Amino acid sequence: MESWKVWLHGLIAAVIGAAASGVTLVIADPTTFNFKGGLAHLGQVCAVQAIISAAAYLKQSPLPGDAPKA
């Protein structure tokens, strides 16, 4: 059970970190990605980054399985 908690914590941390890094686009291109009119674009970019980060995490740390029985 502990391995599932650690795995889920890592997956959530990877997704949140990637989505948060998308907010830096407000600094890089404030005319397109702003909090007034470009919030939909910003959300799409954050979602794509979160999906890519989750996929990379799943590649590195697949679902934890049961311990092999002896």
Condensed to tens digits (0 to 9), the pLDDT of residues 50-67 reads: 899 989 998 998 887 765
pLDDT in tens, 3-45: 888 888 999 998 898 888 878 887 888 887 777 777 788 888 8
pLDDT, residue 23, reads: 80
Angle between helices 2-22 and 39-60 (to 10 degrees): 150
Q: How confident is the model at residue 68 (pLDDT cuts 50, 70, 90)?
A: low
One-letter amino acid for residue 59 of the chain: K
Q: Give the global pTM.
A: 0.73
Q: Which two tokens stand for residue 21?
A: 């890094």
